[in-house]
Amino acid sequence: MSSTRIPRVALYCRVSTGDQDVGMQLDELRQVAQQRGWHISGEYLDEGVSGAKTSRPALDSMMKDARLGRFDLVAVWKLDRLGRSLQHLLRLLDDLQHLGVGFVSVRDAAIDTTSAQGRLLLQVMGAFAEFERSLIQERVKAGLDRARARGIKLGRPERDVDVTRARQMLAEGRTQRQIAMALRIPRTTLRRALTRG
């Protein structure tokens, strides 16, 4: 972000239910923008939209404008307004960083990517998210290994194929595609059954 000109800020607000409104968040964000000397270049409001959704009308519009270079900074009232999933939040913040757009959460004082402390906090959050992903992968692998050890067959259940009928149809000159359609099975399932049986 250039220090020679007034930073252009995008204000992002979200409420998850239709009976709430973004007024309180927006008022505070406008006040902070005025105090810090930011020029408000856009206000992006998602009303009645869950933070668990990764695609939201105003958020998508804001990210499009970020790619077009329409602002230097995104400000939110609280981090959970931007998103609930740590992975999604980090992906959004990483996208903004790559676009050269700073990020500030006014109610979460330490979350400000325009400061060294804020960038460090985001790196720590990223490390925890990566650690969480690794733990999940390890648990899934361990669960699959245990299931295999107990003789549980994994993957899709095998479909019964009338191999005798399929061979008869082949002898009549039908193609594998026609046979698969007649037996209402995928061609790959038919091929496997013919190879095995």
Using CB atoms within 10 A of its CB, is residue 82 exposed (0-12), middle (13-18) or buried (19+)?
A: buried
Catalytic residue among 16, 41, 61, 85: 16
Cα-Cα-Cα-Cα dihedral sign, residues 105, 43, 87, 94: negative
Inter-CA distances, 9 with 35, 53, 177, Å: 13, 23, 58
Vertex 185, ends 179 and 187: CA angle to 5°? 65
- Examine the residue annotation and report whether 16 is marked as an active-site residue of this protein: yes
As a whole number of angstroms, the distance between CA 169 and CA 166 comes to: 5
Q: Which residues are catalytic?
A: 16
